[in-house]
Structure 1
Amino acid sequence: MVAPPATIGSGVGWAASQIPNQYTDPDRVATILAKLGKPKAAKYLKGKLPTSKRTRSGDLGEIIGAQYATLELGFRVVERLRWKDHREMSMRGDDLVGVRASTNGTLELLKGEAKSRVRLGTATVTDADDALKRDRGRPSPHALSFVADRLHGLGEHTLAELIDDAQLISGISQRQVVQLLFTFTGNDPRALLRANTTAYRGRVKRLAVGLQVSEHQAFIAKVYSKAIADA
């Protein structure tokens, strides 16, 4: 997916609108807003956002990848950046873990890796490939427990219980999993992604999706600046 120059402004607005809910619980912000007013609520949100270019790049790649998995693939992806140890640290484990119920009510899972680079190279795709192959191509048990705990806490018990049943009773087959290799780059990722999917011999279905924004770093800076200004 190549972002035409004319769409960059609306793209910045859309991405900035996703930022607050990814890093904070809306109820928490609403409480601060009601008790302390807009400036303090904005200060709280700003304190959650990373300031380094590298962390912002990685986080935004994960945020956009999660939105793709949600809006285009129909998976529920938990906003895991809310639980970062520090705003400048990356989250460990699988980048994207999605869950959905099939038409017959059985569990379907997404395991994804999101990579954000000015110039995507072979080494980065290889790292993502290695990560997707871990745990026999399935989301790690720890990542699934994390998602189930968060879903229970959010009141989404039906999906959470599907994960609990799969982990504790029935197990998870590779047929229940879809992998997503998502890249957010300044250069054209197609040749590298096609090479990866052509060479892939795993038993888990894999999708490779690239979003190319030519002014990659400027786009990221504008997104976070707008998210702070809007707050």
Structure 2
Amino acid sequence: MVLYKKWCDATKEKDKRKRYWTYVEKDGGRDEIRDDLAETMRSHYDRLERIADDVQRLGYKVAAEILRTQLPQTDKGRSGDLGEILATELVEEEIGLRVPVRRLRYKDGRNMAMRGDDFIGAGYGGDDSKLWLLKGEAKSNKVLGKATVTSARKVLNRDNGRCTPDSLAFVANRLLESNDDGDVQLGRDLRDEVGLKTLRADRIDHMLFTISGNGPHASLKGDLEGAGTNRDQYVVNVHIEDHQDFIKEMYQKAEDLGDD
């Protein structure tokens, strides 16, 4: 879906392979995307066609209860999940790579955070149209500070800046279960990369994605300045002034399937 162009005003700075993007809600922007974002959130937890089938068979009230069992109910869980959802949508809308697996569908507890890389973008690029990856870390905070930014960068740099093998294998194996030939081919290439580790650093981009109530903390620019120059680096902040109220509002909207 087109989310950010309708929702936010963006400021984008670029210095060679380093990009610093900030987003602020437009006047009336939230009203423009509220319904679509709620549906997108549902799609990260379950297939929309399954939800529609539940509604057809069981009615809206029961279908909503089934969906609710998959959505986090704690403030921390909702904040973390929404950060990953918004990061995923940004990658696909603004960068053009796919985040091919909606990993929140595979949580073993709705209030638990999943281990591994927060999101992995994948596709084919360059002059040779070979595999290209993006390793991402998402943070959602009422008040964003330096400690959170430093921690996120540490995670991006681990495993020599590569996607962690277990995270990459998880994505690969889900794609190999698909009936789509393109998904299967991408899954094979990702699975090969888990074992061969032949992808150069300049084909594994990094994104540090943040959503916060206090806007872009100064540490974000400092982090980008200190980041390596051997890959594309994206540092992103989405400023939502009423951060916690926004999260509560959107999960209430996502849980509400209507009654007609």
TM-score (norm: length of structure 2)? 0.83
Per the alignment, residue 67 of structure 1 pairs with: 89
Of 53, 68, 71, which aligns to 1:46? 68
Per the alignment, residue 131 of structure 1 pairs with: 155
Per the TM alignment, residue 27 of structure 1 is displaced from its structure 2 partner at its CA by: 4.5
Q: 1:202 to 1:128 in 2, by over 3 A?
A: farther
For residues 121 and 198 of structure 2, what CA distance do their matches in structure 1 show?
A: 17
- In the alignment, structure 1 residue 186 sits paired with structure 2 residue 210: no
Per the alignment, residue 173 of structure 1 pairs with: 200
Contact 2:45 2:71 in 1 (8 A): yes
1:82 partner amino acid: R
Of 67, 82, 85, which aligns to 2:105? 82
Unaligned runs of 5+ in 1: none
CA deviation profile, 1:14-64 (whole Å, cap 9, x unmatched): 321211110113343344344433332221111111111111011001100
Partner SS for 2:105:
helix
Partner SS for 2:228:
coil
More strand by share: 2
Of 114, 122, 135, which aligns to 1:91? 114
1:143 partner amino acid: S
Count of residues in Structure 1 that have an aligned counterpart in Structure 2? 231
- In the alignment, structure 1 residue 101 sits paired with structure 2 residue 124: yes
Matched ranges for 1:128-167 at <5 A: 128-155=152-179, 156-167=183-194
For residues 213 and 84 of structure 1, what CA distance do their matches in structure 2 show?
A: 26
Partner SS for 2:215:
coil
| Bigger Cα displacement from structure 2, 100-109 vs 34-43 | 34-43
Per the TM alignment, residue 168 of structure 1 is displaced from its structure 2 partner at its CA by: 3.3
| Bigger Cα displacement from structure 2, 184-193 vs 43-52 | 184-193
Q: 1:107 to 1:42 in 2, by over 3 A?
A: same
Task: Give % identity.
Answer: 36
Contact 2:60 2:257 in 1 (8 A): no
The runs of at least 4 consecutive aligned structure 1 residues that moved more than 4 Å come to none
Q: 1:230 to 1:38 in 2, by over 3 A?
A: closer
- In the alignment, structure 1 residue 36 sits paired with structure 2 residue 36: no
Per the alignment, residue 234 of structure 2 pairs with: 207
For residues 73 and 32 of structure 2, what CA distance do their matches in structure 1 show?
A: 23
CA deviation profile, 1:129-158 (whole Å, cap 9, x unmatched): 100000111101111100011112233112
For residues 190 and 106 of structure 1, what CA distance do their matches in structure 2 show?
A: 36
Per the TM alignment, residue 201 of structure 1 is displaced from its structure 2 partner at its CA by: 3.3
CA deviation profile, 1:106-149 (whole Å, cap 9, x unmatched): 10001000000011000000110100000111101111100011
| Bigger Cα displacement from structure 2, 151-160 vs 173-182 | 151-160
2:131 partner amino acid: L
Contact 1:60 1:220 in 2 (8 A): yes
For residues 202 and 54 of structure 1, what CA distance do their matches in structure 2 show?
A: 33
2:164 partner amino acid: S
1:151 partner amino acid: L
For residues 25 and 133 of structure 2, what CA distance do their matches in structure 1 show?
A: 28
CA deviation profile, 1:49-91 (whole Å, cap 9, x unmatched): 1111111011001100011011111121121000111000011
Partner SS for 1:71:
helix
1:7 partner amino acid: G
Q: 1:216 to 1:5 in 2, by over 3 A?
A: farther
Q: 1:139 to 1:160 in 2, by over 3 A?
A: same
1:101 partner amino acid: Y
